[in-house]
Chains A and B, each alone.
Chain A
Amino acid sequence: MRRPDLARLGALFAWECRIATRGAAFWGLAGACALLALWRASAHGTTAALAAYRACEALLVGLGVLAVFLAGTSAGRDRRTAAEQSVLSKPEGSAPSLALLRFAALWLSLLAIAVIGLAGASLGQLVFAKTPWNLYPYLSALGRIALPVGAAAALGFCLATAFQTPLASAAAAIYWLVVPLSRPHIAMALDLTPSQHWPAAALLMVFLVALTCVLYARAVRDRGPRSRRPAWVAAALLVAFGVSAYRVAVSGEDLLTGPDPILSAIQSESVEADERAPGFWLRDAQNRFVGLDDFAGHPILLVFWGPAVTSSALLLSDLEQVAEEFAPSGLRCIAVCVDRDPAAMRPFAREVGPQVTVLWDRGRHFGQGTYAADSPLAVAYGVTDLPTVYLLDANRHVVGQTFGQLDREWLTSRLPRTAER
């Protein structure tokens, strides 16, 4: 058997990469991702780790959809232009290697978009947030993006090959877009937020790419005028999807399987007393984005709370009274709900009324005593238990921090200091 010629494989791979990245579509998408990441990282005071985390979160959803869609349409494109016919009739043309090279090139081009996106986030952090730059969290974010996006690309590739139409992968792309945004617990199954499931993502990717190679070779060998679509493959995929989504939905908490490097990085940069507080843009109950910048010039009482923590409800009702009481002195109250589901904040938001701005940040809370949070904002503020209260002055420096209850004396004694600065 002949040994594979690595130089030629490298040259072919370079060509596939050029094909994947050439054209307005690639650069348009890269530009859009960079702008999105720049916006996510531009809130005043955002640290490098927080900027990288937020950019990573946005890029994972965007690139996941893109991966499925691009992989699917590239399979359709082959059929339309019949490029594969010319390639496969050459001495070195083989269906599995063609599929493999194309997948690798597509994955690499998506990672190139991720790098451009993270560069945008980095720019946003340096120019708008003006906090010290650090390479490590951005590299870590790229690591978090790589496998889920590879798995998404493999899924699109596999569907398009199995059904021989870009429609199948377009449907998968829509599923990818709609499900994680509307059903957070299914998002955990697809692992779009934290990449704690990287072994599963890697295995899924390898399996799907191998399956694609086999299906592609079969399709090429037997592709005729009326070849039937292997409907059983689609049925198997849909059943597998359904079962995994159901299992995750009923299995309760998804515990971390190991340390999350990017959260560790955010924690190491968490804010101390008298330091400038990390900025943010978060969704309120009406789905509007609200940030610290909207309260510029006011002292702020910032509360991190969780709907599952009983003392949170007490603190929120107290917060409403405090907001009314201290409104004349310019104090504004923000309550950040840390939960998987944005819907969890809505009943509380209705109860506390308009004096308190209730926002939501994706995160989890594992109960008193065994606290662990994966809300990047909570970690950036150094929250160790819920609820935690921070008092920020008009320049957004941390004046004080307290846990559990709102102490009027604590607040009254510190509030004049917020005015002095």
Chain B
Amino acid sequence: MVAKGARAPVGAEEVDGVQVEIRGLRKVYPGGVTALQGIDLTIPVGIFGLVGPNGSGKTTLIRIVATLLEPTAGEVFVGGHDVRKNKAAVRELLGYLPEDFGFYPNLTAYEMLDYLALLCRVNARKERQARIEQALHRVNLDQVAGQRVGTFSSGMRRRLGIAQAILNDPAVLVMDEPTSGLDPEERVRLRNLLAELAGQRVVILSTHIVNDIATIGQRLAIIRKGACVFSGTLSELLGPLRGRTWIIDIGEDEVSRLREQYYVTGVFRSATGMQVRVLADEMSHPKGYAAEPTLDDAYVWAQAEPARPASPYDQPGGPSA
């Protein structure tokens, strides 16, 4: 039996420096919908954010990594194991939280985890008990272990989802939109939990809420229409925008004219009128002044149609997908 909290991640013991490698990944659904069109990513230990709008292919990518979906072409390796050929070995290393996590509402939290622990090949009852108690403790649900899942709030259900994902102390934790639909307090609590869990693991986190990554992520990829438009660290993402991000204070009626002139990444209301954030190589507007780029600026820029002004990420020397 293993003492509480003393175990290193299973995968970390077996595979030195576990990482997830994705090469030329394509997915075309039977209906003809192309969800992913050739994705290449290398995901090292730490929190890795997959950012993109709804329908961009994040869930498809995550489900392929979680061995739940067959890719049409390309390769995915988790800790050196091919997700197509060696599903069982990949699942040993993996913890997965689906987007709409739920379980039979008539089971209690403990019972649900007991069932899933059996599927994680934890046969000995005492060991299962120890693991379940540890997982529930980590997500702060040990007080409601005997309560039925159907009575849980969405935040509690999400935390229970994380508890089932960490039952086997996985080296790779894959989470699909873990913060969506949560109130601000639960969201902060969940971010803290994720930061705590990261340790020596690969934590892949998909979200369409950019700020989730800004607070806890170290690396991220931006997905647009099934293609990866950026992959790198936060500073690599923001670096090319430094010196190109501006704020212009204007009157309300000027906003639409400004949109024609500059690439606008945000419009805010200020005490004196409107404050518009724009991206441009040079600033000719008399009321414009330089600003620090934010993740929102970069995200909006990366998501824009190719008809936009040349992307800083497309330029030689800049980070690329």
Residues of A within 8 A of B (CB): 5, 7-8, 11-12, 15, 18-19, 22-23, 80-83, 85-93, 220-228
Contact = CB atoms under 8 A, between A and B. Distances in A.
B119 to A, nearest CB: 4
A278 to B, nearest CB: 43
B262 interface: no
A19 B106 contact: yes
B119 A93 contact: yes
B35 interface: yes
Contact of B69 (A22, A92, A222): A222
Contacts of B103: 81, 83, 86
A89 B33 contact: no
Contact of B118 (A12, A22, A82): A12
A23 B150 CA distance: 12
Contacts of B111: 15, 18
Given A8-B123, A226-B29, A82 B106 contact: no
B68 interface: yes
Q: Which 7 A-B pairs give the minimum distances between C-beta atoms?
A: A81-B102, A224-B29, A90-B119, A85-B98, A89-B96, A226-B31, A91-B91
B312 interface: no
B96 A92 contact: no
Given A90-B91, A93-B91, A224-B35, A8 B102 contact: no
29 contacts: A5-B123, A8-B121, A11-B118, A12-B119, A15-B111, A15-B115, A15-B118, A19-B104, A81-B105, A83-B104, A86-B98, A86-B101, A86-B103, A86-B161, A87-B119, A89-B67, A89-B91, A89-B94, A89-B98, A90-B116, A90-B119, A90-B120, A91-B88, A91-B91, A92-B121, A222-B29, A224-B29, A224-B31, A225-B55
B115 A222 contact: no
Contacts of A223: 69
A91 B92 contact: yes
For A81, A88, A91, A225, which residue has the most chain B Cβ atoms within 10 angstroms? A91
Interface in B122-162: 123, 161
Contacts of B116: 86-87, 90
B115 to A, nearest CB: 5
A87 B107 CA distance: 15
Contacts of A220: 68
Given A22-B107, A91-B121, A221-B70, A85 B96 contact: yes
Given A85-B96, A226-B29, A91 B104 contact: no
B164 interface: yes
Interface in B66-112: 66-70, 88, 91-92, 94, 96, 98-107, 111
B142 to A, nearest CB: 20
B120 A225 contact: no
A159 B304 CA distance: 44
A228 B31 CA distance: 6
Contact of A221 (B35, B55, B69): B69
A222 B68 contact: no
A82 B119 contact: no
A91 B95 CA distance: 10
Nearest to A5: B123
A91 B119 contact: yes
A351 to B, nearest CB: 57
B30 interface: yes
Nearest to B125: A11
B19 interface: no
Contacts of A18: 107, 111
B10 to A, nearest CB: 11
B278 to A, nearest CB: 35
Contacts of A87: 116, 119
Given A81-B104, A228-B30, A89 B68 contact: yes
Given A86-B96, A92-B118, A221-B70, 9 more contacts: A82-B101, A83-B103, A86-B103, A86-B161, A89-B96, A90-B120, A92-B120, A221-B69, A225-B29
